Homo-oligomer: A and B are copies of this chain.
Amino acid sequence: MRRLSTLGLLLILGLIMMGALGNSPRPPLTPVLPLPSLAAETPEFHYFSFLTNTAFSPVERVLLFGVLGIAFAGLAYAWMLMGQVNAADAGTPRMQQIAAAIREGADAYLKRQLTTVSILIVVLVVVLFATKAMTSPQGMSDPFALGRAFAFLMGAIFSATVGFVGMRLATTGNLRVAAAAKVGFGRALMLGYRTGTITGMLTDGLGLLGGTLIFMAYGEHAYEALLGFGFGGTLLALFMRVGGGIYTKAADVGADLVGKIEKDIPEDDPRNAATIADNVGDNVGDCAGMAADIFESYEVTIVAAMILGWASFGHIGVLFPILVRAIGVIASIVSTYLVKAGDKGNVAEAMKSINFGFLVGSAISVVGFLVLGYFFLRFDEAHISLDKLTAIKALPAWANWGVSGLDMRPAYSCLIGVILCVALNKVTEYFTGTEFSPVRGLVRNCETGHATNIIEGFAVGYESSVWTAIVLCSAILGSAMVYSGENALFVAYGVAMCGIGMLTLTGNTISMDVFGPVADNANGIGEMGYDREEMGEANYKEARQILADLDAVGNTTKAVTKGVAIGSAVIAAVSLFASYITVIGSGGQGESEAIPAGLFDHVAGLLTVSSPRVFIGMLLGGAVPLLFSSMTIRAVGRAAFLIVNECREQFRDKAIWEGTKKPDYGRVVNICTSSAQTELIGPAFLAVFTPVLVGFLLGPVALAGFLAGSIVVGQLMASFMCNAGGAWDNAKKMVEDEPRNLEANTGKGSEKHKASVTGDTVGDPLKDTAGPAVNPLLKVMNMVSILAVPLALQFDSETVNRVKEGAAKFHFPLPEKFAVSPINTFWMVTVAVCLALLIWAIRQSHREKA
């Protein structure tokens, strides 16, 4: 079993997905697809019907094209910045050599990653298309079959592009930043930040482009294509996050264990064979992984908002989130361009400038939302006839500003989202920043040794997750309260719009995040590549100080954005709950068939926390993030072990140790690359197959509990791990900045420093591998659940009967074929395969050696 190759496993994964997404041998109900009998009631489908459909006003058509234009503007801005970065001075040949080595490693990793993943993607595209086309009366020409498959492909490709380009640019930018540091602080900061902005604007632009194109093509039938789009992005983000996370920390821990601890040489010492891999890892994990992760959140929130917007406010509800995103793109363009500092700048000035940019972006967004809302959120008789907005005329003054037909509530939810984003940044900053008491408490605890530092880190991490939870709760509560009195779909739309608002400034958020590894790498290039003699001592020192300062800035900005990443996962997951219920309530047809509010409440009522099945689901769902973390942590350990051995062996070569011979960086890079590929399979299996197993074994009701439990525990654990790790990291930096005095137990080399290094090393896999990987885990489980539940539903007689009961009561026509299915071969094969793969995944995480 253990000898299964990556490729083989991915093929199995593809085949299983085919099974899970396809139909059972004797199909009792059509998954996701509206049945012919019902579809016949709707008028014939045309692509791009918004051009002719009279429900769209000419203004709205123009707006849609306008959004498309803004999406391209965002991409053009990214292109322009790319030109600026490429045109910048690329430093000395020696520096270029090092940067080239880093880039080569990163390319090799991504190439391998994408090659393997692309096979899976192709398989899934075929599955998604074929299963739909086979059951459709239109056969291969069914536009929804094409739509679902194509959107999935687009989501995956966009996600991969963001990761790939972002990482490539980062490996270009790091060199430029190192070269610019010789000129001055301001230029280096600007180049580094703009390198990040390129990825940020790619995310913004591609996300907006995808959502808008899908809506233009499919209009009100966009549901399935949107789900496909979200699923594509999410799956890829999971691979990039987990693979990148394992890569980066295996390289980091391996390099540190041999370099810093065994050999007592500084980080980035060119004699250490793992040093290039370590720098590659920063790009792979923090650029590619994080960018794909946030792109996915960007996608999933817009998918949720568009689906719910259609169900609640009709097509105005769909257009509004797209337009809000367009405002966000403009705000990001303006505000990121403002980030700069003087030539003699320092950490404080840089932080001030970056924060100022964020503030300007927020201000533009807030004003934009209100103006847009005032002119756009008007509902006339035609909309009210949708039978959803009967109360729109009776809104209180705070909601309609005294204007009849105006409904500003969606704009308010977006505002709450912006506030949430800022608040999450602040909470993260408080718990991981060097100026605040949590990190200072850790430094104090380092004095009494390794153990007290770790214990205090637990206390800090636990507490930080509590405050993150409180902030998230306040935002969800606020969004829900805006719609209090309305039915559950509106409330869900409010939460989804909060997610849209939260990710408005994605351009800035990713800029801040990517700036971290770029500055880190630039510092590494400086350490390895500056020519001290040629530069002169004063220049050298000054340039190195600039790079060190930028590195510190990058550490803070990178840490801060992690709060937003996990927050967005929670918000997206909460708003997708409404889709989940609609899929069950409509007998597996999905959100394309809106169900009556009474039926919605009836189905929602089945998912009560007092039901033992829901509770069991919650407990199991809560357990998954822990098992997932346990797996990824162990994977890092195994990979690091291999690297330590390789480095030790290379150090035995005296020529390498004396610095006369270049170590073979490539071998370590190869180890990292192949370890990351192998090790991500187990956790990926867990993410994909656990929800399928729970759905089939315990039913859709338990699966709902499973999702809820996983979100709650996932949020708390992710915050705990990321913030504890960030705090330990910065505590170590503070100890290192102390004057070195072994008598007083301060500074590098002291016992206190050793204790702080232990904390940092413990925190590394928590904050860069396990913690952030929880975000895509939650979202993949959510997507898989929504896609798998129509199939699992038929085997749960109790739920089927309760749905039928409700449908009869609220006069909803269920699909004719909707009925209980006895346990059949399809059920048994699915359960057996899921079980086997999960057992394999757990066993493989117990291996002692890689």
Q: A-side interface residues toward B, CB under 8 Å?
A: 257, 261, 437, 441, 444-445, 448-452, 454-456, 458-460, 462-463, 465-466, 469-470, 472-473, 476-477, 479-480, 488, 491-492, 495, 570, 574, 577-578, 580-581, 601-602, 604-616, 618-620, 622-624, 626-627, 629-631, 633-634, 636-637, 644, 698, 704-705, 707-709, 711-713, 715-716, 720, 757-758, 761-762, 765-766, 846, 848
Q: Are B458 and A619 in contact (CB under 8 A)?
A: no
The answer, among B462, B626, B704, B761, for a CB contact under 8 Å with A465, is B626
The answer, among B479, B614, B716, B757, for a CB contact under 8 Å with A713, is B716
CB distance from A227 to the nearest CB of B (A): 18
A613 to chain B: closest residue by CB: B480
A773, B289: Cα distance in complex, Å: 38
The 7 closest A-B CB pairs, nearest first, are A605-B605, A451-B761, A462-B630, A609-B708, A480-B612, A462-B626, A469-B623
Q: Are A758 and B620 in contact (CB under 8 A)?
A: no
Which residues from B are CB-within-8-Å of A477? Answer: 612-613, 616, 698
- The answer to whether A712 and B622 touch (CB under 8 A), given A462-B629, A612-B574, A615-B574, is yes
Which residues from B are CB-within-8-Å of A491? Answer: 612
Q: Are B607 and A609 in contact (CB under 8 A)?
A: yes
The answer, among B624, B708, B848, for a CB contact under 8 Å with A441, is B848
The answer, among B577, B602, B620, for a CB contact under 8 Å with A470, is B620
A560, B604: Cα distance in complex, Å: 40
Which residues from B are CB-within-8-Å of A715? Answer: 619
Which residues from B are CB-within-8-Å of A704? Answer: 609-610
Which residues from B are CB-within-8-Å of A607? Answer: 608-610
Q: Are B629 and A458 in contact (CB under 8 A)?
A: yes
CB distance from A501 to the nearest CB of B (A): 16
Q: Chain A at the B interface: mostly helix, strand, loop or mixed? A: helix
CB distance from A139 to the nearest CB of B (A): 36
Q: Are A611 and B462 in contact (CB under 8 A)?
A: no
Which residues from B are CB-within-8-Å of A610? Answer: 488, 577-578, 580-581, 604, 607, 704
The answer, among B466, B479, B708, B765, for a CB contact under 8 Å with A618, is B708
9 more A-B residue pairs beyond the given contacts A441-B848, A462-B627, A758-B758, with a C-beta to C-beta distance below 8 A: A257-B449, A452-B637, A455-B633, A455-B761, A459-B634, A466-B626, A470-B623, A609-B618, A622-B713
Q: Are B713 and A466 in contact (CB under 8 A)?
A: no
- The answer to whether A712 and B448 touch (CB under 8 A), given A604-B605, A607-B608, A612-B476, is no
- The answer to whether A611 and B622 touch (CB under 8 A), given A449-B261, A616-B477, A630-B459, is no
A618 to chain B: closest residue by CB: B712
Which residues from B are CB-within-8-Å of A492? Answer: 612
A728 to chain B: closest residue by CB: B451
A455, B250: Cα distance in complex, Å: 13
Q: Are A630 and B762 in contact (CB under 8 A)?
A: no
Which residues from B are CB-within-8-Å of A698? Answer: 477
Which residues from B are CB-within-8-Å of A257? Answer: 448-449
Which residues from B are CB-within-8-Å of A472? Answer: 619
Which residues from B are CB-within-8-Å of A437? Answer: 846
A370, B609: Cα distance in complex, Å: 32
Which residues from B are CB-within-8-Å of A611? Answer: 488, 604
Q: Are B630 and A458 in contact (CB under 8 A)?
A: yes
Which residues from B are CB-within-8-Å of A711? Answer: 615
A466, B629: Cα distance in complex, Å: 11
Which residues from B are CB-within-8-Å of A707? Answer: 609
Which residues from B are CB-within-8-Å of A614? Answer: 609
Q: Are B619 and A455 in contact (CB under 8 A)?
A: no
A458, B721: Cα distance in complex, Å: 11
The answer, among B469, B601, B626, B766, for a CB contact under 8 Å with A463, is B626
- The answer to whether A458 and B608 touch (CB under 8 A), given A450-B450, A477-B616, A630-B466, is no
A506, B596: Cα distance in complex, Å: 52
A762, B451: Cα distance in complex, Å: 5
A611, B610: Cα distance in complex, Å: 14
A720 to chain B: closest residue by CB: B626
A463, B715: Cα distance in complex, Å: 18
A720, B720: Cα distance in complex, Å: 14
Which residues from B are CB-within-8-Å of A465? Answer: 623, 626
CB distance from A750 to the nearest CB of B (A): 15
A644 to chain B: closest residue by CB: B448
The answer, among B451, B609, B622, for a CB contact under 8 Å with A609, is B609
Q: Are A630 and B463 in contact (CB under 8 A)?
A: yes
Which residues from B are CB-within-8-Å of A720? Answer: 626
Pick 30 A–B contacts, CB within 8 A, sort by A. Answer: A441-B848, A449-B761, A450-B450, A451-B758, A454-B454, A454-B762, A455-B633, A455-B636, A455-B761, A456-B637, A458-B630, A458-B762, A466-B626, A477-B612, A477-B613, A477-B616, A477-B698, A480-B613, A488-B610, A491-B612, A580-B610, A605-B605, A609-B614, A609-B704, A609-B705, A618-B708, A618-B712, A622-B713, A623-B716, A709-B712
CB distance from A649 to the nearest CB of B (A): 17
A760 to chain B: closest residue by CB: B451
Q: Are A765 and B455 in contact (CB under 8 A)?
A: yes
The answer, among B456, B463, B495, for a CB contact under 8 Å with A612, is B495
CB distance from A580 to the nearest CB of B (A): 7
Which residues from B are CB-within-8-Å of A450? Answer: 450, 758
A577, B615: Cα distance in complex, Å: 11
Which residues from B are CB-within-8-Å of A623? Answer: 465-466, 469-470, 716
Question: Which among A450, A459, A705, A761 has the greatest number of chain B C-beta atoms within 10 A?
Answer: A459
A708 to chain B: closest residue by CB: B609
CB distance from A624 to the nearest CB of B (A): 8
A612, B644: Cα distance in complex, Å: 48
Which residues from B are CB-within-8-Å of A615? Answer: 476, 574, 577, 708, 711-712
A256 to chain B: closest residue by CB: B451
- The answer to whether A606 and B605 touch (CB under 8 A), given A454-B454, A574-B615, A626-B462, is yes
A293, B476: Cα distance in complex, Å: 36
A704, B610: Cα distance in complex, Å: 8
A451, B712: Cα distance in complex, Å: 28
Which residues from B are CB-within-8-Å of A445? Answer: 637
Which residues from B are CB-within-8-Å of A630? Answer: 458-460, 462-463, 466
A758, B751: Cα distance in complex, Å: 14
A615, B437: Cα distance in complex, Å: 31
Which residues from B are CB-within-8-Å of A602? Answer: 605
Which residues from B are CB-within-8-Å of A608? Answer: 604-609
The answer, among B479, B606, B716, B765, for a CB contact under 8 Å with A622, is B716
The answer, among B456, B574, B577, B616, for a CB contact under 8 Å with A473, is B616
A620, B476: Cα distance in complex, Å: 12
Which residues from B are CB-within-8-Å of A762? Answer: 451, 454-455, 458
